[in-house]
Amino acid sequence: MSPAASRRSATAFAITLLILEIKVPEVGTHGDLWGALGAQWPSYAAYVVSFLVIGIVWINHHQVFGYVALVDRTLMFLNLLLLLVVAAVPWPTAMLAEYLREDEASHVAAAVYSLLMVVVALTFQALWWHLTRTGHLFDPRVDIPAARATRLRFALGSLAYPVTVGLAFVSAPLTLAAHGLIAVYYAFNQVPVPTRD
């Protein structure tokens, strides 16, 4: 198992830890469990969005590393950094779910959530720049000049994340929805690794 594969395992693990943040609702003996469950909707929404976000990072990471033949120390370190921020996602997820319906705190929680996503995107960018800059880490199938040419488009695509930080101060639920949409967008519009024909 390669270190990249281990890292994917760790991502897989981070994704399953998300459910631990959803608590069993407490009701009295004759309490209304349906009502208590309904009141928990921010937890479900945050779970689904964070699951998609981590999942898409995981899939894209897998796609890219399918073309990586060599791992140098910098790549390993960037990989570890990416894991550090992705593994942290359950924490702002729980915080956003808890404060989503409160006035001021909801903006703070949404901003922190968005900021973490900015860091995830930046780390992924750094990884992609390192791979395309060095070139020799890719396997021979990869068209390196074409891969370099994707960098600007890839960077522009990541600009959606800083925008969500601003959006956090408008509306926290909207911010959460935006992250869900970005995840689905990246699921269907990923920058492909260009290969020689």
Which residues are CB-neighbours of 157 under 8 A, at least 6 positions away? 186, 189, 191
For 33, what's the count of Cα atoms within 13 Å in the CB-facing half-sphere? 3
Residue 71 vs 144, nearer CB to a copy of itself: 71
Residue 92 vs 194, nearer CB to a copy of itself: 92
Q: Which residue has the tokens 């960077």?
A: 155
Report in angstroms how near the CB of residue 145 gets to a copy of itself at its nearest.
25
DSSP string for residues in 33-45: HHHHHHTTHHHHH
Report in angstroms how near the CB of residue 171 gets to a copy of itself at its nearest.
16
Coil, strand, or helix at residue 138? strand
Residue 2 vs 135, nearer CB to a copy of itself: 2
Residue 31 vs 159, nearer CB to a copy of itself: 31
Report in angstroms how near the CB of residue 95 gets to a copy of itself at its nearest.
5
Contact set with a copy of itself (CB under 8 A): 1-3, 5-20, 22, 24-25, 27, 29-31, 33-34, 37, 47-48, 51-52, 55, 58-59, 62, 73, 76-77, 80, 83-84, 87-91, 94-95, 98-99, 102-105, 108-109, 112, 187-188
- 35-44 burial, b if ≥16 CB within 10 A, otherwise e? eeeeeeebbe
Task: Please state, in angstroms and rounded to a whole number, the distance separating the CA atoms of residues 144 and 8.
Answer: 24
